[in-house]
Amino acid sequence: MTRQRLYLFDTTLRDGQQTQGVQFSVAEKVQIARALDTLGVDYIEGGWPGANPTDSDFFAAPPETRATMTAFGMTRRVGRSAENDDVLAAVLNANTPAVCLVGKTHEFHVTTALGVTLDENREAIASSIRHLVAKGHEALFDAEHFFDGYRANPGYALSCLQAALEAGARWVVLCDTNGGTLPAEVGRITAEVVAAGIPGDRLGIHCHDDTGNGVANTLAAVEAGAQQVQGTLNGLGERCGNANLTTLIPTLLLKEPFASRFETGVTPEALAGLLKTSRMLDDILNRVPLRSAAYVGASAFAHKAGLHASAILKDPTTYEHIDPALVGNERVIPMSNQAGQSNLRARLEAAGLVIDPKDPRLGRIIEVVKDREDQGYAYDGAQASFELVARRELGLCPEFFEVKRYRVTVERRKNKYDRMISLSEAVVVVKIGERKMMSVSDSMDEAGGDRGPVNALAKALAKDLGPYQACIDDMKLVDFKVRITNGGTEAVTRVIIDSEDGQGRRWSTVGVSANIVDASFEALLDAIQWKLIRDIGSPVGSAP
Amino acid sequence: MTRQRLYLFDTTLRDGQQTQGVQFSVAEKVQIARALDTLGVDYIEGGWPGANPTDSDFFAAPPETRATMTAFGMTRRVGRSAENDDVLAAVLNANTPAVCLVGKTHEFHVTTALGVTLDENREAIASSIRHLVAKGHEALFDAEHFFDGYRANPGYALSCLQAALEAGARWVVLCDTNGGTLPAEVGRITAEVVAAGIPGDRLGIHCHDDTGNGVANTLAAVEAGAQQVQGTLNGLGERCGNANLTTLIPTLLLKEPFASRFETGVTPEALAGLLKTSRMLDDILNRVPLRSAAYVGASAFAHKAGLHASAILKDPTTYEHIDPALVGNERVIPMSNQAGQSNLRARLEAAGLVIDPKDPRLGRIIEVVKDREDQGYAYDGAQASFELVARRELGLCPEFFEVKRYRVTVERRKNKYDRMISLSEAVVVVKIGERKMMSVSDSMDEAGGDRGPVNALAKALAKDLGPYQACIDDMKLVDFKVRITNGGTEAVTRVIIDSEDGQGRRWSTVGVSANIVDASFEALLDAIQWKLIRDIGSPVGSAP
C-alpha cells in the first residue's frame, strides 16, 4: 500500500504566542522558524501581520525556509469587500506564499457574536478565499468552533467548508477552538465531514488541550481521514495550549497505524533532534523543561521502580515503549529507596565502579542511602553526590582537602547615599595536607549587585585550593534549587546544585540542613570533590 | 436510563511515588489520603507494605477514610506457596480492606523476565488471589503489560484475567504498563475483553502518559466498558506519569457521553475543591503548579487574545468549554483591559478596600504589580503582600516601624569536643518613632539544634517591637517556601512565608532578592506589617 502524505502545520509563532506570559522577539521568531524548518514541518505560521509590531517586523524580513511560510488573519468583515478590508490587506501585504484565514462556522457565533446572517458570513468566507487565490497565495481556511458548530447545525458548518473549498482553498481546517470536544466525537465528526465529500487530502485538524486530549483529538481526526495536523512545539498556546507537535511527531512517525499509513517531511535524523528543538524553545522562554513530557522529558525514560530497573537491564523493551535515542533522549536509572541492588549496580557502573553482585558493601550502600533519604537527601537528581556516598562506603573517596571552618556575614544597611544595600562576606579555612589556607570573598557580581551568602561562600572556597586550584578553575555553578522538606520530624532545607566544567561535563550534588547556607555549602563541597576525582583520579574498580 | 457506577481508584501514594524526585513522608501520605477521601475517590492505594520503611509506617497507622484503603504488592513467586511468600505476607500484614496485586499477563515477560512457564504464572496469579480472598480482603488484580500481552497472545492474556476472576478477584485491571498504546487500540482491546466475557463492572483501566494519551486511553477504555479508572492527582507517576485524575474527574462528571452514563462518588461540592486539592499536592512537592494544566491550571481560563477576551465579556460560553467555578478555578482576563480592573477591584474589596471604578490609582496598582512580577514576585499565593502593594499606592499603609539595618552571621567550626557545629546569630536595629532598638538572637531551637540564619533573624526582629510587641507575640511562622526563579535576566530567590496568629488568621507574604536571607527578611517584614494593620488598624475605604 502506498503511504499517504501527512502535512505538519506549526503555529508556535502564532497560536503559541497566545500563551500567558509568552512574547517572542523578532530574533526569537526567526530562531524558532529555522529550528522548525530543520525539523521538517511543512508549514510555519509566523504570526498575524498588522496585528502587532513584532509580527509585522517578522514578515518584513522572514527567514528563508523550505517550509511554506504562512501568514494568519481573519476573513473579511461583512459590509466591506475583500479588496477594501484593511485588516485583510495588511495580511496579504506580508506577501507570504500561504495565507490562513480564520472564519466562523458556528451559527451561534455568526448571529450572536458577529450579528450577521448565515449567508453573509458564508459569502465573507468565500470571497476572502477567492481574493487570496486571485492574488496568488495558497489559501487555508481555519473553521473556528467547527465541532461545536457542527453539533448545533451540521448543514451550515459543512456548507462553510464547501464554500471555502469551492473558492479555491487548498485546505480547510477543523478547529476545536474552545478545546472541549473529546476524542471519540472528534473522530466521529471528522469521519462525517469526509463522508460528506470533503477530501481528506484537503482537510486539516487544529485542537487544544483543555481536556488533556489535544494529542488524542488530533490522532482521532487523522485516523478519520484528515491529512494536515496543526500544533505547536511543546504544546504552547492559549489557555491549556495547542496540540503538542513535540508529542505528535514521534507518535505519527513511530507508531501504528500511522507509521505505515503516512509519510511526512520529518526524517529519522531530524526526529533524533526533537529533544534539542524542544529544549531550545524552553531556553528561549526561560522555562524549566517539563520532566514528565512525553518522549522528550528528562523523566520520560527514567525507571525508578526497582523491578522495572532490573528488567530494563536485561531487555530495554520490557519497560520502554520506544528506544529513547530515536527522539534524542536517554534512559535514566535513578537511585531511590525503592530501588534494588541491580539498579544500584547499574548506577555505579555508569560512574566507572564495577562491583561484584555478591559484594556485601552493596547492601551497606543501600542502607546509607535510605538513611540519608530519611534525613531529607534526594539522590534521584543528584547522581554525583550519590556516587560520593558509594565511594565513601567502598573506600574509594580520597580526601583532597578538609574545611576547618567558615563564617558568612549578611548585612543590610544604608550606604553613604542613604540607600539600603545588602552585602555578604565569607571566610573559609581549608587544610590541604599540613597547609592551612584562609580565603575571603564578598557576594558582589560584576554589576555591583549582591548575589547573597552562598555566592560569597562559593567564591571564597574556590579562591585558593592550592594544588587543586587548576582543576576547579573551569567549574561553574549553573543551577541552584532549594526545597523545604522533612528530615525526620523537623523541616530542613535541601539544596541541589548543578555544576558544569570546561570539558562539557555537567553534574548535580545535594546538601541538607536546617541551615540553608550550610546545606548549600555541603552541596558545593560535593561538587568540588566529584570534579577532583574526575580530573585527578582515584582508585577505580572492585578494590580495596 | 439508570446510570452505572464508575469507580475511581487513586494511586498517587503508590505509583505517584514512582515519580523521579518524589519521596513522600508518612505525614504527607496521610495528608494526601485525607484530601483524596474528601474529593470522593473510591479506593486509595497507599503504597507497598514491606517495600520501604515509609510505606510500612503509613500502613501501621493509616488515616480513617470512607474510601477503601488498598495495599499494593505482587503475586507470589513461582516455586513457593502464597502462604509462604514473605513479600506477599508483608503486604497482607498491613491488614487493609483491599489488596491489589500486580502480575504478568504478557507471555514474553513470563518466559523471559520471570523464566517460568505460562501455566505456572497463571497458577501463581490464581493462588495469590485465592489467598487474599481467604484472608478476607477485597482482591484486585493489576494485569501488567496487558495491552502488549494481548497483542502478542490474546488467549493467554485473557486466561490470566479469567483465572483472577475465578479465584475471587473483585476487579481485574488492564494496565498499559509501558504507556505506548494509543487510544483507538486501548478501546478496541478493551471492547474485545468485554466481549470475551469479562464483565465491565469488574474491569479496571490503568494507563500512563508516555504518548500524551493517558487521559484519552482511559476514556477509550471506559467507553468500551471498563468501570474502574486508575490514576493519580496531577498525573504524578513513573516516567511521564499516570493517567491524570485531576483531568479525568471533571471530564467524567461534566462531559458527555460520560456524565449521563455514569455516577461516581465525587459530589459537585467536592469537584469545586479540585483546584485546591491539586495545589495542595504541588505545595507538598514544592512544585510550581503547571499553568497550562487542563481544568485547574492558572492559565486554563486565561484569555489573552483580544478578540477572545472581548467576546468572553459578552458571553463566557463563546470561548470557555466549562464554567471554571465548577472545578474551583476562575477566569483570567489580562489586567490591561476593563475586565482586568474589575478583577482587581474584587481582590481589593476582599481586603476591605473599596475603590471607585474610575479611580486612576487602579491603573497605577496594575502597573506596580506587573513591574514587580517581572522582578520575580508572585502575588497569586501571597494575598497579604498584594494587599500591602495596593495600600502603598493608595496611601493606606502606615509605617509602624523602620528597620535601619541588620547583620546575620553563619558560622561552622569545630566545638570543644572536636565536632563540627554550625550556629547563626542575627542583630537587628529598628526605629519606632524617635526610639532606636537593637535586638540580637541566635538560631538555636529548644533541642540546641541550629535552625539557620532566617530563624535567627526572625527571632531578633520579634524580640522587641516596643509598643507593637503585644500584637506580634501571638504570630507564628508556619510555612516557608523557597523557589529560584527569574527576575529580569538574573536568577533570584523568591521566598513565600505563611504566618498564623492566635485569632486563627493565616496569611502569606512574599519577598524576592538574589540574596536568600534578604528575600526571607522582606517576606517577614510584610507578614508583621499586615498583622499590625489588622490589629491596630489603618484608614480603610476610598480615602484619601
- Please indicate, yes or no, if residue B430 is contained in any of the structural domains: yes
Amino acid identity of A29? K
The backbone torsions φ and ψ at residue B351, rounded to the nearest 5 degrees and listed phi first, read -95, 10
**Facing residue for B212 by CB, picked from A184, A294, A307:** A294
Chain B residue with minimum CA distance to A305? B18
User: How many percent of chain B have pLDDT more than 90?
Assistant: 65
**Looking at residue B542, what is its pLDDT?**
37
Among A394, A428, A445, which residue terminates a domain?
A: A394
**Looking at residue A259, what is its pLDDT?**
97
Using the structure block, give the residue that is written with the C-alpha cell 516455586: B79
**Facing residue for A299 by CB, picked from B240, B300, B516:** B240
pLDDT: is A337 or A22 the higher one? A22
Q: Is the dihedral of CA A57, A61, A64, A70 positive or negative?
A: positive
Distance from CA of A382 to the nearest CA of B (A): 10
- Please indicate, yes or no, if residue B160 is contained in any of the structural domains: yes
* Same-domain pairing of B246 and B384: no
Confidence of residue B487 (pLDDT cuts 50, 70, 90): low
- Please indicate, yes or no, if residue B302 is contained in any of the structural domains: no
Q: What is the spatial distance between Cα A466 and Cα A459, in angstroms, rounded to a whole number?
A: 15
Check A299 against B251: CB less than 8 A apart. no
Confidence of residue B129 (pLDDT cuts 50, 70, 90): very high
**Facing residue for B322 by CB, picked from A177, A180, A336:** A180
Contact B524, B388 (CB under 8 A): no
* Same-domain pairing of A366 and A406: no
Listed range (A117-121, A201-205, A307-311, B118-122) with the worst mean pLDDT: A307-311
* Same-domain pairing of B189 and B95: yes
The residue of A370, A385, A516 whose CB has the most chain B CBs within 10 angstroms, and thus the best one to mutate to test that interface, is: A516
Q: What is the mean pLDDT of residues A480-500?
A: 77
Chain A residue with minimum CA distance to B73? A307
User: How many percent of chain B have pLDDT more than 70?
Assistant: 94
Q: What is the mean pLDDT of residues B271-298?
A: 91
Domain with residue A56: its CATH number is: 3.20.20.70
Using the structure block, give the residue that is written with the C-alpha cell 514528565: A292
**pLDDT tens per residue across span A48-96:** 998 878 899 999 999 999 999 999 999 999 989 999 999 999 999 999 9
- Give the rounded distance of the alpha carbon of A155 from its chain centre: 41
**pLDDT tens per residue across span A286-313:** 677 898 999 999 899 988 877 777 788 7
For residue A325, the SS3 value is: helix
**Looking at residue A212, what is its pLDDT?**
98
**pLDDT tens per residue across span B151-204:** 999 999 999 999 999 999 999 999 999 999 999 999 999 999 999 999 999 999
* Same-domain pairing of A251 and A159: yes
Domain with residue B363: its CATH number is: 3.30.160.340
* Same-domain pairing of A113 and A12: yes
In sequence order, what are the residues at sequence separation of 6 or more whose Cβ sits closer than 8 angstroms to the Cβ of residue B180? Answer: A255, A321, A322, B148, B210, B211
The residue of B104, B105, B107, B210 whose CB has the most chain A CBs within 10 angstroms, and thus the best one to mutate to test that interface, is: B210
Whole-structure pTM value? 0.78
Distance from CA of B156 to the nearest CA of A (A): 18
CA distances from A34 to A178, A263, B146, B370 (A): 30, 22, 42, 32
Q: What is the mean pLDDT of residues A95-116?
A: 94
Return the DSSP state at A111.
I
**pLDDT tens per residue across span A454-472:** 989 999 998 888 889 888 9
- Please indicate, yes or no, if residue A121 is contained in any of the structural domains: yes
Confidence of residue B488 (pLDDT cuts 50, 70, 90): low
Domain carrying residue B479: 352-398+471-544
- Please indicate, yes or no, if residue A210 is contained in any of the structural domains: yes
Does the structure show a pLDDT above 80 at B130? yes
Q: Residue A62, preceding bond cis, omega within 30 degrees?
A: no
User: How many percent of chain A have pLDDT more than 70?
Assistant: 96
Q: What angle (nearest 5°) sits at the alpha carbon of residue B340, between those of residues B337 and B344? A: 140
Among A394, A421, A442, which residue terminates a domain?
A: A394
b/e per residue, A87-103, with b = 16+ CB within 10 A? bbbbbbebbbebbbbbb
Q: What is the spatial distance between Cα B320 and Cα B247, in angstroms, rounded to a whole number?
A: 16
- Please indicate, yes or no, if residue A262 is contained in any of the structural domains: yes
- Please indicate, yes or no, if residue B97 is contained in any of the structural domains: yes
**Looking at residue B540, what is its pLDDT?**
45
Amino acid identity of B444? M
**Facing residue for B410 by CB, picked from A223, A300, A515:** A515
Closest Cα partner for A85 from A99, A75, A96?
Answer: A75
Longest alpha-carbon distance in chain A: 93
* Same-domain pairing of A104 and A25: yes
Closest Cα partner for B530 from B365, B392, B379, B387?
Answer: B387
Number of domains in chain A: 3
- Please indicate, yes or no, if residue A276 is contained in any of the structural domains: no
What is the DSSP code string of B33-93? HHHHHHHT-SEEEEE-TTTSHHHHHHHHSPPP-SSEEEEEEEPPPTTS-GGG-HHHHHHHH
Does the structure show a pLDDT above 80 at B484? no
Looking at beta carbons, which residues of chain A come within 8 Å of B23? 336-337, 373, 378
Looking at beta carbons, which residues of chain B come within 8 Å of A21? 291
* Same-domain pairing of A410 and A390: no
* Same-domain pairing of B446 and B517: no
Contact A237, A210 (CB under 8 A): no
A513 strand-pairing partners: A493
**pLDDT tens per residue across span B112-122:** 888 899 999 99
**Facing residue for B304 by CB, picked from A18, A251, A291:** A18
Confidence of residue A489 (pLDDT cuts 50, 70, 90): low
* Same-domain pairing of A256 and A110: yes
- Mean pLDDT, chain A, as a whole number? 91
* Same-domain pairing of B539 and B493: yes
Looking at beta carbons, which residues of chain B come within 8 Å of A455? 514
Q: Is the dihedral of CA A253, A259, A264, A265 positive or negative?
A: positive
Ranges of H-type helices in A328-379: 341-350, 360-374
Does the structure show a pLDDT above 90 at B258? yes
**Looking at residue A128, what is its pLDDT?**
98
For residue B256, the SS3 value is: coil
The backbone torsions φ and ψ at residue B326, rounded to the nearest 5 degrees and listed phi first, read -60, -25
* Same-domain pairing of A70 and A207: yes
Q: What is the spatial distance between Cα A375 and Cα A369, in angstroms, rounded to a whole number?
A: 10
The residue of A408, A412, A484 whose CB has the most chain B CBs within 10 angstroms, and thus the best one to mutate to test that interface, is: A412
* Same-domain pairing of B55 and B155: yes
**pLDDT tens per residue across span A415-463:** 888 888 899 999 999 999 899 999 999 998 888 888 899 989 999 998 8
Return the DSSP state at A448.
S
Confidence of residue B109 (pLDDT cuts 50, 70, 90): very high
Among B266, B299, B325, which residue terminates a domain?
A: B266
